[in-house]
Amino acid sequence: MEKKTKVGTSMKVCLLITPSVLQRIHREIRTCARLKHRNILSVYGYTYGFGLFMAIVSPWAENGNLTTYLERKDAHLTMVRRFQILRDIADGLHYLHTNNVIHGDLTGPNVLIHGDGTACLADFGLSLVYSEVMSISLASWTSTFHGNFRWLAPELLGEPDNELDNELPVRPSKCSDVYSFGGITLQLCF
């Protein structure tokens, strides 16, 4: 006898403007699908049928994102609970970095809180996957959106002077993810 359970899902709807956008979205889905950790939002797959839109299907996070969670619960959260959330985020970030994935857009809205209180990292819209055998100059972005300034490392705001020194554009890194984690720490604790 087969046991059926209801599982809530969410869909991130993406406008398919060009083939290169579709290619970036598929790369994001493949990256996310290979990551298996309690503090990383799973990706079930993707679906079409929304006209020019496709959707990435993931589990539903009953408590929403960190920013809205804090708006609802802030006065009632103990410091112990706040540090539990930070530990979850740090564990997820460590897992990403161990697997050569840069989140690139680590913000309060991109941390989801499940019904059991577990925090997980989501929305790898700026994930930068790199290989130890490939130079960072050959690695590619999965999105061109530059994130939210509140959590953005200052070095990501500047533009290189390509005419003078032929530098590559500054890309998110493990260091910029750690800077963003500091922004989340401030958001949670102060």
Whether pLDDT at 170 is above 80 = no
Whether pLDDT at 60 is above 70 = yes
User: What is the phi/psi pair of residue 90, to 5°?
Assistant: -60, -40
Q: Which residues are designated catalytic?
A: 105
Predicted structure pTM score = 0.76
**What whole-number distance in Å separates Cα of residue 76 and Cα of residue 122?**
25
- The 10s digit of each residue's pLDDT in 64-82 is 999 999 999 988 999 999 9
**What whole-number distance in Å separates Cα of residue 47 and Cα of residue 55?**
5
Domains, the chain, ordered by start:
9-59 (3.30.200.20), 66-189 (1.10.510.10)
User: What is the phi/psi pair of residue 57, to 5°?
Assistant: -105, 130
- Longest pairwise C-alpha distance within the chain: 70
